[in-house]
Structure 1
């Protein structure tokens, strides 16, 4: 009977060794898989970042173009308004002088009242 116990414990020990080797192999495969997954996710993140950066640059260029167009339009409107005002002053210098005096008088009243 003593021999049966000894051979039984040897078999159990060998089975544990085989299980340990199998677990170590599985862990090595798992580590490799995690490493590959990390690499793939890093690459995916880099590509997504590049795409978002390109989209942001495109939108910024679009907005810049719109802003420049609006500035040019505003400048044209200001020039037009200035030319109309200048023409009105040249056609009616007396009225322009009276309006300027009236505006000056009102501003003087407002600033003197504090």
Structure 2
């Protein structure tokens, strides 16, 4: 190998290193953009799931509230039917509950 060939080889190697460094730099920039895009996408996904879970929780709460109202109305209806069917027993139960509440509160 003569001096000219050695110089050419060095120049080619230096150019290849520069090209490789430029390629790496552009790939790193592209990777940064991809990571930023992925982070944004994950954030959007998390927000969408959060909104979906909030909506599901609200729907479940509304269902529970409606079920509770229906049960309360049914209990009230049964209590009214009991009062109409057995007024004496209902009065005795009410007096007993009142007596117990009086005892508990009087001890304090």
Query: For this structure pair, what is the TM-score category when the shorter chain's length is used for normalisation?
Result: 0.7 to 0.9
How many residue pairs match? The answer is 105
Q: Aligned residue for 2:45?
A: 51
Separation (CA, whole Å) in 2 of partners of 1:42 and 1:78: 53
Unpaired runs of 5+ residues, structure 1, are 1-7
* Aligned-residue RMSD, C-alpha: 2.6
Aligned to 2:32: 38
Indicate whether 1:99 and 2:96 are aligned: no
State the SS of the aligned residue for 1:38: helix
Query: Does 1:112 find its partner at 2:93?
Result: no
Counterparts of 2:49 and 2:103 in 1: how far apart (Å)? 56
Q: TM-score, normalised by structure 1?
A: 0.71
The answer on 1:28 being equivalent to 2:22 is: yes
- Structure 2 residue runs without a partner (length 5+): none
Task: Compute the TM-score of the two structures, normalised by the length of structure 2.
Answer: 0.74
* CA deviation map 1:26-47 (0-9, x unaligned): 3332221111100011111212
Alpha-carbon displacement from aligned partner over 1:58-100 (angstroms, at most 9, x marks no partner)? 2332232222112111110100101111221122222222211
